[in-house]
Amino acid sequence: NKRGFIFDLDGVIVDTAKYHFLAWKKLANDLGIDFTEHQNEQLKGVSRVQSLEKILDWGGISISELEFQNLMDKKNSDYLSHIETMKEDEILVDVPKVLTFLKNKQQPIALGSASKNARKILKKVALYESFDAIVDGTNVSKAKPDPEVFLIAAKELHIAPNQCVVFEDSIAGVQAANKADMISIGIGEQDVLGEADFVFKDFSEISIEFLTQLINKQ
Ligand code: BG6
Ligand code: MG
């Protein structure tokens, strides 16, 4: 039996969600806008453009297109400064174990990320070769919660969407997976990711038995 296993990147494969948070918080605070952890949850999985739109909206601020572009560039260079020195040790717990298990079971594996920095990060942590398909922010026109990124990933894996499993740490990403008719697995807190079919704190909570059941499920 073959399923398509699709992984989000930030906050699922690597611990970069904290760097996105730091960069957005700095930008928001510099604009005099308060930025809470709760607001941050609403930005997870969301594209760079839409994230900035939301922050400006929260602050009731409107700016020119040029200034918007400048702020996006600023956020990204701040973010990139955090990931500059990133190494394999920032891969989240038990991710390699799960990837290796799925590979040994000949299960197709894809990345489905909103980030335009996804390929760069995968190379930094030496996981670029672990995926049969990579779909990221440079390949999509519609951001999560739209299912586009996962549907393209399924297509590239040659697996029907309803035979795919998605690992996500964001509300928007779980909603995208559900809309794509895929099994959604939330990585994080149950009270945040309650819309997912299953929620685990991290991959150390996901057993080989659970993965085997997913593969064999009709
Ligand atoms: C998602 C992150 O994976 O990618 C978001 O959860 C981020 O926080 C989005 O805004 C876009 O990423 P990037 O790297 O293209 O700015
Ligand atoms: Mg994420």
Over its C-alpha atoms, the chain yields an Rg (Å, rounded) of 17
At residue 120, does pLDDT exceed 80? yes
Measured CA to CA, the distance from residue 204 to residue 97 in angstroms comes to 9
Instruction: Give the active site residue among 10, 73, 89, 136.
Output: 10
pLDDT, average across residues 106-125: 98
The reply to whether 8 belongs to the active site is: yes
Residue to mutate, 6, 7, 10, ligand 1, most ligand atoms under 8 Å from C-beta: 10
Residue 57's pLDDT band, with cuts at 50, 70 and 90, is very high
Q: Which residues pair with 133 in a beta bridge?
A: 110
At residue 186, does pLDDT exceed 80? yes
Q: Does the C-beta of 45 come closer than 6 Å to ligand 1?
A: yes
* pTM tops 0.90, yes or no: yes
Q: For residue range 147-163, what is the model confidence (pLDDT) as tens digits? A: 999 999 999 999 999 99
At residue 218, does pLDDT exceed 80? no
Measured CA to CA, the distance from residue 12 to residue 98 in angstroms comes to 12
At residue 32, does pLDDT exceed 80? yes
Q: Does the C-beta of 144 come closer than 6 Å to ligand 1?
A: no
Measured CA to CA, the distance from residue 179 to residue 176 in angstroms comes to 5
The reply to whether 15 belongs to the active site is: no
Q: Does the C-beta of 186 come closer than 6 Å to ligand 1?
A: no
Residue 93's CB: how many other CB atoms inside 10 A? 12
Residue 217's pLDDT band, with cuts at 50, 70 and 90, is confident
Residue 99's pLDDT band, with cuts at 50, 70 and 90, is very high
